[in-house]
Structure 1
């Protein structure tokens, strides 16, 4: 998968991903399920919020 992500980046895209646990209820029984989300957007998308690089001295 790393190779495909690198190819997307070469083509001008960025790949964002996240993972969390979601509570689901099936037949009156609750459980936590792992959920993952992947989003691919153009590098220049106005929806991307740029965060300045933080150096270790700021922590």
Structure 2
């Protein structure tokens, strides 16, 4: 794994965490829900990436 890849992954992780906190704040829900929400966002991102790769390979 090179430095650029590591920085990109770290950036996406931070973005997902920030987005999850913002969603919980806007929804007036306890910030405790930000961690599970961040996991759901990550899973959705991975699913979308796999679909895009599969479409490109077909």
TM-score by length of 1: 0.24
Bigger radius of gyration? 1
With structure 2 as the length reference, what TM-score do the two structures score? Answer: 0.24
**Higher relative contact order structure (alpha carbons within 8 Å, sequence separation ≥ 6):** 1
More helix by share: 2
